[in-house]
Chain A
């Protein structure tokens, strides 16, 4: 059922990716911008996410509140996401209504109003979103680990931003960010669904072709220096359990070692879909962390994760301590699993399992056009959409020795930040 991806660059620099999928009479339209918390200077944290919110607050053509109605009336669903490296918007619609998705995205790429009143009303909505996250001990620990793991790179601050920055941000700040990053030469349009590619491409050209290209984009100069020793953070607040989170500074997704890191992650906690929507099947209970941490009674849950990123990010491990277990014991058990792989590598059977699991995850992801477009867009924003197809080959080429080598190279004491959350009612 898989058809090839057609890539076409418009004269204004916007890349269009098209993939026909005729399994169901639906289609999806995604637009991706290469902007996220990575592009935010100090004092403006959270600005990319706030701009994303403002793109739902009206243009002269589609006033505030009309966009959601318009999509609903056409039987569609929509959303927007902001992440460290990218911001994305989508509409999934009955296939014969997909033109609406293009119309909405072409319009709000340049015409979003950012009315002062809407900016102020959204300020409190976003602070409310932040305070919702700030109810969770996992958020407190995650933010502390990221802030310690990155000393210079903007990955150190949360995508939602700091409250004091959100309180101070002005309409002009937001509009400036929008005008800098929202332009065809910084965007990727991804269309997947039950359509004819030639007709669809003409539609994309009509919608986006006349939008002018903008100036060259500001580059992110920050580079996280090589860590020179382990960093440790402890958070003490009221909470239900102790949590441990460990982050190792890891290479970006374009590194030749990325596939081996993905296999390492699979060996620890099973293969997962590498996108933020997930949607695969649970495969972690036969991997290494579950028996070592959960079945042994040390932890109620344990996880590992590799995030494909534009700049070096983190390879992470974490666990929720069982009642009465010291977080130090949980940390030791997590690190012991890393040490075993550094010493002995992984078995051929684990390699084979990782490959089959990843093949299954890719197949599950291909059930929905929304998910397919998300994978294409994410990889194109980070590197190249071709990675969606080549990743399975990359994984097949990873040897057990590669996994041992990258564990020895990257999962070292020097490169790690260890965080403990300790429940403390007196805090």
Chain B
């Protein structure tokens, strides 16, 4: 995969989307160590930005879910695809503030073949009420882990539960890379 070109393609729109008051922004490779170090910075920055406690917790939680999704699922991986620990994969994440609301955005390339499945899952989440989301969390906690999931299939549900609006998402095609699309996800908290 031609990494620099892909990253140029999708970091431009990502930067435009981040032109609010940016609290935290990172583009690059994500590993567990990178995420743990970012977690420190994010916590402190949210505190210094005057965000209240409950909102900080929700932002932090969704930030971790997004960052770990990049570690697990980005199609741009430095480590072999079948390795399931100490992974390092490429993506970006941005926390910003706009008119009193906090926006969390992330982006990473994915295989075009998995986009449809993601679209279905996210689309169905968008139509659910908070109570239905909580019920779905309870059910998937008791269910077997879905195939292809490295977590518990609970990541999107957790983000949806903590968001004040339905999760937004889109898939950007990449010129010259028909097998890859950029997955953008946005949570409003």
Whether chains A and B associate is no
**Which residues of B are in contact with A by a Cβ distance under 8 Å?**
none
**Which residues of A are in contact with B by a Cβ distance under 8 Å?**
none
